[in-house]
Chains A and B, each alone.
Chain A
């Protein structure tokens, strides 16, 4: 009798504890999921460091970064990635020249000039541009832009830094447009009204009040667009031309860091100098995008404080 009572008692207790146990279980599952990305990030960085650092036993850090010759398969091999870094910088800079006017311009149009109906159609279309796979952009660059550039500039090849810049710029446009448009949206209407009320025109209001107020938000948009451009691989692999030499004009073929890694990783013998050098390039790339993201975050924080949106 006593045993049965105890059993029932235990059953009741365990039933009472069930929900709490479930709650704990859920909490743990989601905690693990949330920390998984941190785990992956740390894991990837550790692998990059572990596989990348051994290259510095072969060449010094400054020889690696500032070396002018990238001949990883020659004997003796040369591991200077300056041409690759410069190629990435050129192509990214060129992409900004394209996505800044396109992205910010379309954001201004959407936010300030387009009617609600136009905006409802246009914004999703611009954002749809982001959903086109990068290989399709690359394909477009190869088939449409390449012969076009070749013809108007009389080039031996249309696969150049300019080609990559244009395509990357178009690819980064939706990112820039979307974030810049949000930034413009955050500018309180009261600022616009105040400006109109002292007799400013629409244009003056836009240039002197709205854009400065959204300025850091727009810079954030551009930096994120840049970080997208600098990390983009497939497109530059297809249209940048692939020559690992220091570029002198936008009309020369170049080999950005991402393209070098993608093209060469398959052929580099595991554990060799070339292999480690590619990992080190990836590390450099990671540091660059990481810095871009930090700068973007800092600027957008300052922007929110400036408009009094939140601390």
Chain B
């Protein structure tokens, strides 16, 4: 793969208290590609993705060893502010989590906390983000309604729009379709393929078909280890490791 590396994890160990959740994980995320992480529950893939925007800092009693780079910046450097990292690396969560505010405010929130006050710009940006997240037509007439009135699939696209509004460079998807029906899932997958033109995307998923459909590269996690990482096509057609093969052919997991 001759693409530019956007994010890079080098020898990452991660602990919850004394329990080791990740063991020496190294992985590259390429620019304008979708990188998928698969593996059974509890394998550490969600923990891993949350390291890319320093989300695990919010969990008490955790320890991280190793390095994670965003371009050339080591993001855990004490001189780097987590807030700045999160402005460049956005995240969409497993369960749609819109704020209990209006649809408009959900999107404008990210702009406002980043110090943007120009009303016209905010309005333009809200519309633009909702259009990119393919939800504009469904909500354009009720931007002032509570976001909690939307369906689960709509809420998740709203959360994606919220992420797009702050113009991040990377978007992390932590099992974005876990609580959605197949039609909403298909819409989100379509959206991810569209978004990779402008963003670098990392997605954690339980669903192997989903990884096969949307991703360019895939990493297979097992018990905190990255067992295998490579082109999605290779992982699914010619896995090098026996454990990967066993997992993708459905022998466990």
Contacts and interface: CB of A to CB of B under 8 A. Distances in A.
Given A193-B93, A200-B113, A306 B86 contact: no
A31 to B, nearest CB: 40
Contacts of A208: 109, 112-113
A213 to B, nearest CB: 6
A198 interface: yes
A189 B113 CA distance: 19
A200 B82 CA distance: 10
A196 B163 CA distance: 11
Interface string B72-114: 0000000000111011001101010111110000000110111
A190 B97 contact: yes
Interface stretch (B1-9, B53-61, B202-210): B53-61
B68 interface: no
Interface string A274-311: 00000000000000000000000000000000111000
A195 interface: yes
Contacts of B112: 208
B248 interface: no
Nearest to A207: B113
Given A116-B60, A197-B55, A191 B97 contact: yes
A190 B90 contact: no
Contacts of A188: 97
Given A208-B113, A308-B148, A194 B100 contact: no
B159 interface: yes
Contacts of B125: none
Contact-residue size bin, chain B (C-beta under 8 Å from the other chain): 20 to 34
A201 interface: yes
Contacts of A204: 113
Given A190-B93, A204-B113, A197 B163 contact: yes
A199 B83 contact: yes
B166 interface: yes
Contact of A199 (B84, B97, B101, B148): B84
A115 interface: yes
Interface in A131-176: none
B58 A199 contact: no
A185 B165 CA distance: 29
B99 A197 contact: no
Nearest to B172: A197
Contacts of B114: 198-199
A192 interface: yes
A199 B91 CA distance: 10
A193 B97 contact: yes
Nearest to A188: B97
A14 B99 CA distance: 63
B32 interface: no
A102 interface: no
B100 A197 contact: no
Interface in A205-262: 208-209, 212-213
A200 B112 CA distance: 9
6 contacts: A196-B55, A196-B58, A197-B91, A199-B86, A199-B114, A201-B83
Interface of B: 53, 55, 58, 60, 82-84, 86-87, 90-91, 93, 95, 97-101, 109-110, 112-114, 148, 159, 162-163, 165-166
